[in-house]
Amino acid sequence: MRINKWLGLGAGWIFAGPIGGIIGLAIGAIIDGNVQVKTNINGRTTINDFAMSLIVLIAAVMKADGTIMKSELDYVKRFLNKTFGEQAAAELSIMLRDILKQDIAIDDVCSQIGNHLDYSSKLEMIHLLFGVSKADGHIHPNEVALIEQIAAKLGVTSADYKSIKAMFVEETDSAYKTLGLEKTATIEEIKKAYKRLAIEHHPDKVSYLGEEVQNAAKEKFQKLNEAYEKIKKEKGFV
């Protein structure tokens, strides 16, 4: 298994703190003792940092409703394959199975992630967690509550959290909620809100995490654009 090479070449801040403890238990049985994990001394987030912190949060969300569905596991596997490649997905899937057996101190984990990820990457993480939650066709209230808790601990604003939530949870006037607005919003308010969110959610904001994560971010950006187009058509402006 190539997990040794993958970890050794990409280790960063993720191997410290509470996440390091969780990951350490998960890989302890499969990592080769001869491998020396090289940490990133400049503190910059790597794709491996992002992937492993995401896996820990995914495990927490999957456990939130008390049932781990096969549909959720299949969705996660497809997502990992698409986002990180087949080999990395296989390694992360092994880690996920072990992490699901552990108790996760979510506040401590979020504190560590919050101190290292930029804001756009945090938004992408919340978007991905909602995708996992909806994999079985239904988002359990406990999963929503946990994702909201995660978002708050990561420092995501309530408005931005509600915007992402509206992309997955069907509610009255979801298009407006995706833009963080009420249906009574003026055309000027709608345009201003869209411009801000378009900048905030642009896939280029997470380009430093690699093409794979950037491509995943395009799905969120597309949902934002679809909501804006729906409102434009309803309100009759260009």
Residue 61 has pLDDT above 70, yes or no: yes
For the stretch 88-97, contacts whose Cβ atoms lie closer than 8 Å and that sit 24 or more positions apart, written own/partner, are: 88/6, 88/51, 90/1, 91/1, 91/2, 91/3, 91/6, 92/51, 92/52, 92/55, 94/3, 94/26, 94/30, 95/23, 95/26, 95/27, 95/52, 95/55, 96/55, 96/58, 96/59
Q: pLDDT value at position 35?
A: 40
101-106 — which CB contacts under 8 Å span 24+ positions? Answer: 102/22, 102/25, 102/26, 102/59, 104/22, 104/56, 104/59, 104/60, 104/63, 105/18, 106/60, 106/146, 106/149, 106/150, 106/153
Of 89, 60, 63, 91, give the one whose Cα is nearest residue 76. Answer: 89
Contacts 24+ apart (CB under 8 A), 21-26: 22/56, 22/99, 22/102, 22/104, 22/109, 23/52, 23/56, 23/95, 23/99, 25/98, 25/102, 26/94, 26/95, 26/98, 26/99, 26/102
Q: Which residue has the tokens 């058509």?
A: 233
The answer, yes or no, to whether residue 206 has pLDDT greater than 80, is yes
Using the predicted structure, report yes or no on whether residue 29 has a pLDDT greater than 50: no
The whole-angstrom separation of Cα 114 and Cα 122 is: 8
* Dist. CA 134–CA 138, nearest whole Å: 5
Given pLDDT bands bounded at 50, 70 and 90, which one contains residue 142?
Answer: very high
Q: What is the mean pLDDT of the chain?
A: 84
Choose among 17, 3, 165: nearest CA to 88.
Answer: 3
Q: Domain extents for the chain?
A: 3-235
pLDDT in tens, 64-76: 988 888 888 888 8
Q: Is the pLDDT of residue 234 over 60?
A: yes
